[in-house]
Structure 1
Amino acid sequence: MSLATVMNFIVGLLLGGAVIYAIKKAVERLVLKEAKEEAADILKEAQEQFQLEEDERNEVIQEIELTAWGKVEEAHLLMEGRCTDLEQQIAERKKSHEETDKTNRGGLFKMETDLRELSMRLTDQQKSFQVFVDQLIQIKQGYQNQLHTKTQLKEEEVIQDITSQLITEANQDFENYINFAEEEHKEFAEAKAKRILGLCIDRFTKEMSTERNISSTYFPDEKVRSHFCHALKDNVAAVEEVTGCDIYIDEQPDPERMLNIQVIGYDPVRRELTRRLFEKLFKDIEKQNKPLPAEHIRKTGENLKAELLRQIKKDGDLQAKELAMQNIHPEIRQVMGSLRYRYSYTQNQYFHCAEVGWFASLLAAEIRADIKKSKRAGLLHDLGKALDHQFDGSHAVIGADFIEARGEDPEVVHAVRAHHYDVQPEADMDFLVIAADAISGGRPGARRSTMETYTQKVTGLQEISKRFQGVTDVFVLNGGRECRVLVNSRQVDDLGALQIAEKIAKTIEEEMQYPGQIKVVVVRETIVSESRQGHQNDRGGGRDNHNHNRR
């Protein structure tokens, strides 16, 4: 292809592009013109439509305004009338207040004038009063000078005497008040203590300690005695060697003392071992029907000793478990178990210590003291009674030293040491243990001496009550605190019953010695009974029976 052809082709393309561009521009101008004309028509049409809608809205608004004005016109007129009335009332009240204010101002001015006059009068009176006071001071000074001249006393001395007298009277009043408060507090404390003791005794449901000691040992019969005495010296020596107690058997006793065996020893455990050994030996003699060799006695004694020691340990552990005591030294448990064979005034000390532990814990609960420590101190308080045959001194001190050496709490040790006042009780727990010990040992029947006293008291009440005419029977109740007297209702009337009660109470107060109070109750009983037999429908008619009994 030649260059000319190419150039012609290029020129043709350029001319064709220019023509196409010109045609495109012409078409765009034509389309734009038509669009503008169409938009102008649409805008004009929209403006006309808007104008129509605006006219319609204005008409609707005018109608609504006319309707609303018609509705509120009457209310508006009423409000205008009400406002007019209120303006008139305000004007009238304003006028009234102005007149009142004018009147008050006049009164206030008058009061100010009167007050000014009164102030002037008060000033004059104050001046007169001051003159009068000065005159009184002069008169007082004159009297003081005259008094000093006549009595030769100085003012300071008189003031000191009066002050001393007032102080003395105040001290006396204070002392009287303190005494009264102490008496009142003592009465209240005593009543509260009685109530607490009564509650604790009522709450204690465990069986009381009633076991009694049997100190004598006897042969069951003369045959057994004969076999045992076949080699008396050897047998007695063997028993003494095993038990550690002294044995005395009379070779030629009186008939009434034929079966007696005297066991002499201060250790209650050794005495118990001796008693058990004799019982076992007597059974063996009855079984074999011949004398026993000394070696058999020694062997039996050793076996019983081991058995008794095991029983003591078991009793000590059981006591600690029953009272829920923790961390008790094994030696203390062992000694506690040995109290099972220790008696005081025939009361078993093993059970007595348990009672005191329970009572001490109940009392501690009532006064909010330490319950566990109080129970522990009560349980250990008489531990020294198992050791008093080995050491000199009070059992309270012996027991306190023993438990102190084995790591017991110092408060518990002090309570044990103080429960018989070997040292002065100080803490609440000390007094709780003392009270619990008294409750356990002091109730009727607990100890031999107390039982005798209680029996004498009952006998005395019965004898005094039966002295009076008309008394048929007497009952002593509530541990000797109530005397109930039955009288014959035919011999004693109501007034006579009252007089008998007063006389019995007065006689008891004069002739008997007793703690607390004794209540005398006189019972006069009247019993009336009546019986009646029903009517029978027969010719013989009916019959009524009446029976009246009076006692």
Structure 2
Amino acid sequence: MNNILLILLSCFIGIIFGWLGRWLYAKFKLTSVEQKAIRLNEEAIKEAEAKSKELLLETRDQLLKEQQQQEREARERRIELQRSERRLTQKEENLEHKQAELDAIKKQLGDWEGNLSKKEQEIAEKEGSLITELERIAGLSADEAKNIIMETMYNDARRDAQLMINKIEQEAQLSADKKARDIVVTSIQRLATEVVSDATVSSVNLPSDEMKGRIIGREGRNIRTLETLTGVDVIIDDTPEAVVISCFDPVRKEIARVALERLVQDGRIHPARIEEVVNKVSKEVGRIIADEGEKVIFDLGVHNVSPEMIRALGRLYFRTSYGQNVLNHSKEVAILSGMIASEVGANSEMAIRAGLLHDIGKGTETESDANHAEMGAEMAKRLGEDPKIVNAILAHHNDTEPQTLEAVIVQIADAISAARPGARRETLDNYIKRLESLEHIAESFEGVDKAYAIQAGRELRILVNNDQVNDDGAKEIAKGIASRIEAELRYPGRIKVTIIREMRVVEYAR
């Protein structure tokens, strides 16, 4: 029991001492925190005082800077204002000076006006006296002199009007040339014929060279019979497996060619058989001639054509000119002539008929020394064709002057059909070189300004210098050029050399 009491007492005393120690420790800690807080407060107060002093110093420096800036700007504004005042003062002084000068000029002008009025009055008086003196010297009154002046002005006006008319005519000519070119180009574009070079075959192929002996026959009777019946020359030479047929008449040449081909195919070659085949082929070729003639007039819508004219047209089917089939060429010329005539307002039916018949002389069966244009014109006249058609046939190669617009159209269409590249057996390069050679020959002569090869090379038109070449000299140049062309160039047909010598007067209105 005593032990328990001792233990309890000890615990009670321990509790009291523990609480007392804790209280002493807490009081010591509280005192330490309070002292630290006081110290921190003092330090904060000191730091705030230092910062406030620093801020106050910075604010004072900023205020000083701003004050200095404002004083500087104010000083600059005062300087600028002083400058502006000086400029305004100077301008005012200049204005006053100019006003003084203006007043002086006005005064001087007033004096001049007064003097001018006096001078005008004096001039008017002198003019009146001069007019009177001129009338006395010239013996003319003022009205008579006025009439003379008006007549002079009238003549000048007429001259100017004539110049204007000439200018308008030149412009109209240029427009007409352009319109003509447009018509020709349009007609060419509308033409849709094939460009084919048909050449009449003048040789017959043989299966072997043994056939040559059979064609000749015993003592040459077979070949003599064939030549007698057809009117051709049969040439048998060393050419392998071929026989050449020569004849100026394309129809007879065609009859002989077809007949010989059939004889070779048949194999039976003797005079009786030759005569039979030739007669049969002649009838067939005659039918072809009639059919081709009727076909072309039907295609073109041409009426009232005589049978002889139809046969002549059909014979053109077997005729070629520089590799161009003459019948196709005539048909093409007719189509082009109709197109151009419809564009320019000419008689298209007459133009088509004249274009179709322009080479009809090449299909005539008669032999003559005249050229094909003359033979065709004679045939057309004999068969009752219109005189305008006859003139167009005769004039298409400039053998005579064209009398109608349709004749000129046929000339143009003939040149177009014959001149376009590929239509005739003449390459484009050779064609261009020949035209260039024509112009070079002409330009090599002294006094020639320009030279133009026209109408597909059928005419050489030359412009000579009027000051260097007289009329006699122009004739000599034309003869010389024609002689050189004949000596240096090869060409189909003939070439017309035209010399143009003209005087030009040029004035400029400024």
Aligned pair partner of 2:395 in 418, 421, 425: 418
- In the TM superposition, residue 227 of structure 1 has moved relative to its aligned partner by 2.1
* Paired position in structure 1 for 2:490: none
> Per-residue deviation at 1:204?
2.5
Task: Return the letter of the residue paired with 1:272.
Answer: E
The answer to whether structure 1 residue 332 and structure 2 residue 332 are counterparts is: no
* Partners of 2:153 and 2:264 in 1: CA distance: 89
For each residue in 1:45-91, what CA deviation from the matched residue of structure 2 results, as whole angstroms up to 9, or x when unmatched?
xxxxxxxxxxxxxxxxxxxxxxxxxxxxxxxxxxxxxxxxxxxxxxx
Q: What's 1:382 paired with? A: 359
2:186 is the counterpart of 1:199: yes
Amino acid at match of 1:248: I
CA contact (8 A) 1:420 1:434 kept: yes
User: Is 1:184 the equivalent of 2:202?
Assistant: no
Q: What TM-score do you get using the length of structure 1 for normalisation?
A: 0.50
Matched, 1:434 2:438: no
What 5-or-longer segments of structure 2 have no aligned partner?
1-122, 435-510
Please list every run of 5 or more consecutive structure 1 residues that lacks an aligned counterpart in the other structure.
1-131, 149-155, 458-551
Aligned 8 A contact 1:382 1:396 in 2: yes
**Could you tell me how far 1:339 is from its partner in structure 2?**
0.3
The answer to whether the Cα contact below 8 Å between 1:365 and 1:371 also exists between their aligned partners in 2 is: yes
CA distance in 2 between counterparts of 1:236 and 1:264 reads 13
Does 1:222 find its partner at 2:209? yes
Kindly indicate whether residue 254 of structure 2 is the aligned counterpart of residue 272 of structure 1: yes
- CA distance, structure 2, for counterparts of residue 273 and residue 453 of structure 1: 34
Report Cα offsets for 1:212-265 as digits up to 9, x if no partner: 204431442312113223436212221121111233334xx3xxx344534332
TM-score, length-normalised on structure 2?
0.54
* 8 Å contact kept, 2:195–2:422: no
> Residue type matched to 1:194 in 2?
R
**Cα RMSD, aligned residues only:** 3.4
Match of residue 527 from structure 1: none
Q: Distance in 2 between matches of 1:213 and 1:306?
A: 22
Q: 1:317 aligns with which of 291, 294, 304?
A: 294
1:208 aligned to which of 194, 198, 203: 194
Residue 370 of structure 2: aligned partner: 393
Partners of 1:353 and 1:232 in 2: how far apart? 45
**Structure with the larger RCO, 1 or 2 (CA within 8 Å, 6+ apart):** 2
Shift of 1:398: 1.2
What is the CA-CA distance between 1:420 and the residue it aligns to?
Answer: 1.2
Amino acid of the residue matched to residue 275 of structure 1? R
1:372 match: 349
Task: Answer whether contact 2:202 2:246 (CA < 8 A) is retained.
Answer: no
Does structure 2 conserve the Cα–Cα contact (< 8 Å) formed by 1:316 and 1:336?
Answer: yes
Indicate how the Cα distance of structure 1 residues 222 and 180 shifts in structure 2: closer, same or farther if over 3 A, else same. same
SS in 2 for 1:448: coil
How many angstroms apart in 2 are the aligned matches of 1:435 and 1:367? Answer: 13
1:134/1:328 CA distance change after superposition, 3 Å: farther
Shift of 1:164: 8.3
Query: Shift of the alpha carbon at 1:163?
Result: 6.7
Are the counterparts in 2 of residues 267 and 389 from structure 1 also a CA contact under 8 Å?
no
Cα distance, 1:456 vs structure 2: 7.0
The question of whether the paired residues in 1 share the 8 Å contact of 2:337 and 2:413 is answered with: yes
Q: Could you tell me whether the CA contact under 8 Å between 2:215 and 2:223 is conserved in 1?
A: no
CA change 1:231–1:403 in 2 (3 A) is same
Mapped contact 1:377–1:433 kept (Cα < 8 A): yes
TM-fit CA distance, 1:145 = 4.8
1:421/1:212 CA distance change after superposition, 3 Å = same
Q: Distance in 1 between matches of 2:172 and 2:200?
A: 47
Deviation string 1:251-289 (CA, Å, 9 cap, x unpaired) is xx3xxx34453433221111111211221122122xx5x
- Report the CA distance between 1:399 and its aligned residue: 0.8
> 179, 198, 221: which one pairs with 1:234?
221
Find the counterpart in structure 1 of residue 133 from structure 2.
142
CA distance 1:393–1:163, change in 2 (3 Å): farther
Paired with 1:282 and 1:165, the residues of 2 have a C-alpha distance of: 93
Aligned partners of 1:209 and 1:352 also within 8 Å: no
Secondary structure at the aligned position of 1:241 is classed as helix
Q: Show the 5 A alignment for 1:487-506.
A: none
Task: Name the amino acid aligned to 2:314.
Answer: G
How far apart are 1:133 and its partner, in Å?
Answer: 11
User: Conserved in 2, the CA contact under 8 Å of 1:445 and 1:451?
Assistant: yes
Q: 1:301–1:160: structure 2 CA closer, same or farther, 3 Å change rule?
A: farther
CA distance in 2, matches of 1:261, 1:434: 40
C-alpha deviation, 1:451, in angstroms: 3.8
**Any idea what the Cα deviations from partners look like across 1:429-456, whole Å, max 9, x if unmatched?**
1111112112221222001125444687
Distance 1:375 1:196 in 2: 16
Change (3 A) 1:262 1:411: same
Q: CA deviation at 1:185?
A: 2.0
Give, in angstroms, the shift of residue 351 of structure 1: 0.9
Distance 1:164 1:224, change over 3 A: farther
- Pair 1:176–1:455, CA change in 2 (3 A): closer
Shift of 1:368: 2.0
Which shows bigger deviation, 139-148 or 193-202? Answer: 139-148
Residue of structure 1 equivalent to 2:234 = 247
Structure 1 residue 330: Cα displacement: 0.8
State the alpha-carbon separation in 2 of the partners of residues 178 and 247 from structure 1: 69
- Look up the SS of the partner of 1:352 in the other structure: helix
CA–CA distance in 1 between the matches of 2:313 and 2:401?
A: 25
- Aligned with 1:333: secondary structure? helix
* CA shift in 2, pair 1:145/1:186, >3 Å: same
Partner of 1:37: none
Residue correspondence of structure 1 range 1-40 to structure 2 within 5 A: none
> Could you tell me whether the CA contact under 8 Å between 1:369 and 1:428 is conserved in 2?
yes
Q: Deviations over 1:464-502 (max 9, x none)?
A: xxxxxxxxxxxxxxxxxxxxxxxxxxxxxxxxxxxxxxx
Matched, 1:308 2:294: no
Query: For the residues of structure 1 that align with 2:366 and 2:157, how far apart are their CA atoms?
Result: 59
Q: Could you tell me which amino acid in structure 2 is paired with residue 191 of structure 1?
A: K
CA contact (8 A) 1:209 1:351 kept: no
SS at match of 2:426: helix
Q: What percent identity do the matched residue pairs reach? A: 30
The Cα offsets for residues 324-375 of structure 1, whole Å up to 9 and x where unpaired, read as 1111111100110000011111100111111111111111111222121111
- Alpha-carbon displacement from aligned partner over 1:362-401 (angstroms, at most 9, x marks no partner): 1111122212111111111111112387122221221111
Please show how residues 3-152 of structure 1 align to structure 2 within 5 Å: 139-146=130-137
Structure 1 position 293 matched with structure 2 position 284: no
Q: What secondary structure is seen at the aligned counterpart in 2 of 1:263?
A: strand
Among candidates 352, 359, 382, match of residue 336 of structure 2? 359
1:194 to partner: Cα distance: 1.9
- Alpha-carbon separation, structure 2, partners of 1:164 and 1:419: 51
Distance of 1:271 and 1:144 partners within structure 2? 97
Counterpart position of 1:129:
none
- Describe the shift of the 1:395–1:202 C-alpha distance in structure 2 as closer, same or farther (beyond 3 A): same
SS, match of residue 431 in structure 1: helix
Q: Is the 8 A contact 1:209 1:348 kept in 2?
A: no
Distance 2:224 2:242 in 1: 18
